Amino acid sequence: MPTPTLLVLDAEPLPRLGSLTGRARIEHTDAAGLAERLPRADVLLVWDFTSRAVRDAWPGEGPRPRWVHTASAGVDHLMCPELAASDTVVTNARGIFDQPIAEYVAALVLAMAKDLPRTLELQRERTWRHRESLKIAGSRAVVVGSGPIGRAIARTLGALDITTALVGRAARSGVHGPEDLDRLLARADWVIAAAPLTDETHGMFDVRRFGLMQPSARFVNIGRGQLVVEDALAEALAKRWIAGAALDVFEAEPLPAESPLWDAPGLIVSPHMSGDTIGWRDELGLQFVELYEQWAAGEPLRNVVDKQRGYVPGH
């Protein structure tokens, strides 16, 4: 059997794939060269998971890789109708980011409850101003997205004695269905968006949904930027419909300097870093090597994405 060709859509730093020497013919490409190289590849590793180059290159002529792996939890950046309709298997980095993101969400909840941003501002001003903060034990959270990341968030918030409701695409044991979301939002102190980006979830947090929330509620998005109508969130903060928010993902990334979100009252902005702990790229590389060994041995792959739904089913 000829040595399979592994094509890597590059991003710096490059993945460590030395352990595949002799077991794969490794080629590298940037976005501009992807369309030309795709027909010669058996496997495509989308290491640059911020690129939409796969969506543009996939519909071209010629053979296509039998397997595509993206070094990210989301797959919306690469999924196009032609890929969805093909026999190509798509896998993602499920499992790498769950606990780091959960810890980041807990940190944001604590920071907002304890007014840490204002404390740091006052320190820079050399101002001593006593304030009262919120007790989070006994408060209520809604996590929208019942996959591994959402479940890790619920467990971590539970350790802080926050009563947490999970909302998924369908009701089942321990998970509410979409029909319960509005009712839960109206009672929540913390609303966490952790859903995959699909046709159903695009723009789900809009003027109506922010209007349902309590004036004391805080909103956090660590899912996908397109889950949120950003103008609606800015309006909700400006009019004090909700008490605060934290966004780690945005419709346009990097967030443009002229975006009004930078100055939105009560908003914490972070640069899509909630899952990125020290050593995370090495973990992504090791995960891919393990998957490659399964694929080369003809074994069933883990983390197979349902290309119609846009995520790994079974949660």
In single-letter form, the type of residue at position 139 comes to: S
Nearest-10 Cα torsion for 120, 125, 130, 134: -30
Give alpha helix (H) positions in the chain: 34-37, 53-57, 81-85, 98-113, 116-124, 148-159, 181-185, 207-212, 230-238, 280-296
CB neighbour list of residue 146: distance below 8 Å, 6 or more residues apart: 166, 167, 168, 169, 175, 315
What's the rounded Cα separation, in Å, for the pair 103 and 81?
35
Give catalytic residues, as residue numbers: 224, 253, 272
Determine phi and psi for 114, rounding to 5 degrees: -95, 5
Q: Give helix then strand counts, H and E, for the chain.
A: 10, 11
116/147 Cα distance (integer angstroms): 30
CA dist 142 and 6 (Å) reads 41
Length of the chain equals 315
Q: How far apart are CA 6 and CA 180, in angstroms?
A: 45
